[in-house]
């Protein structure tokens, strides 16, 4: 938590006094898929991290440390002041639903989720997609993060392999590149606007 060691009351880290509302988007995906990189590319603050300790009994087994009694799950996040009065938070969390349940209310009220995919390990993404499609109504957009040795699959092939619903957007992205990462957020919010739950005006 290096960024936490700087001056804790540095005024630049505070939101502008005009900001009176926050919204959030989740950034989910398998381990090492580029969640923190994407958050860092768009965030106006250095990405921050908070951790929860959990017992493996309640969360299943961490493949890296199968014999540990407790494990630490980190959530990286960043923020963008999108208008004078609205701050958008991006919360990055491992793909499996049992991890996002660790942070009380994390999925609750979210505008949507970016699901980062690494086409070198497509099968790692099946579980998170199942969770999103079967157990939540959160709008999501699939983001294919391009690595140097990623196979050059056309997006429609990835869509078919992931068995996405026809209306689910799928876009390519370089998570290190700000404009590219911002475009994924725009795609997601545009998609969310088609969901009836967001139609109501309640400013």
Ligand X SMILES: Nc1nc2c(ncn2[C@@H]2O[C@H](COP(=O)(O)OP(=O)(O)OP(=O)(O)O)[C@@H](O)[C@H]2O)c(=O)[nH]1
Which residues are near ligand X by CB under 6 A? 29, 31-37, 92, 94, 145-148, 174-176
Per CB under 8 A, residues contacting another protein are 1, 3-4, 8-9, 11, 13-17, 19-24, 42, 45, 48-54, 58, 75, 77, 79-83, 86-89, 91, 101-109, 111, 136-138, 178, 182, 185-186, 189-190, 192-193, 196-203
Q: Which is nearer to ligand X, 92 or 112 (CB)?
A: 92
Decide: is 37 part of the binding site for Mg ion (CB under 5 A): no
Question: Distance between CA 155 and CA 31 in Å, rounded?
Answer: 21
Q: Which is nearer to ligand X, 19 or 56 (CB)?
A: 56
Q: Which is nearer to another protein, 84 or 163 (CB)?
A: 84
Say how many Å lie between the first and final Cα of the chain, rounded: 35
Strand ranges in 38-173 using DSSP code E only, listed in sequence order: 48-55, 70-83, 86-94, 112-117, 140-145, 170-173
Cα-based angle 134, 59, 51 (whole degrees, multiple of 5)? 105
Quick one: which H or E segment has residue 186?
A: helix 178-192
């Amino acid at each position: 938590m290096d960024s936490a060691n700087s001056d804790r009351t540095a005024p630049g880290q505070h939101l502008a006094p005009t900001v009176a509302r926050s919204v959030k988007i989740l950034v989910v995906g398998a381990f090492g898929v580029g969640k923190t990189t994407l958050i860092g590319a768009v965030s106006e603050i250095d990405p921050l991290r908070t951790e929860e300790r959990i017992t493996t009994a309640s969360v299943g087994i961490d493949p890296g440390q199968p014999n540990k009694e407790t494990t630490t799950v980190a959530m990286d996040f960043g923020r963008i002041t999108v208008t004078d009065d609205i701050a958008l938070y991006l919360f990055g969390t491992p793909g499996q639903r049992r991890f996002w349940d660790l942070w009380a209310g994390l999925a609750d009220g979210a505008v949507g989720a970016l699901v980062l995919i690494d086409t070198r390990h497509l099968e790692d993404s099946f579980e998170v997609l199942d969770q999103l499609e079967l157990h939540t109504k959160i709008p999501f957009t699939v983001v294919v993060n391009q690595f140097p040795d990623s196979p050059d699959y056309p997006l429609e092939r990835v869509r078919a392999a992931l068995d996405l619903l026809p209306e689910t957007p799928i876009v390519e992205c370089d998570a290190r590149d700000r404009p590219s990462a911002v475009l994924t957020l725009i795609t997601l919010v545009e998609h969310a606007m088609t969901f009836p739950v967001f139609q109501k005006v309640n400013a």
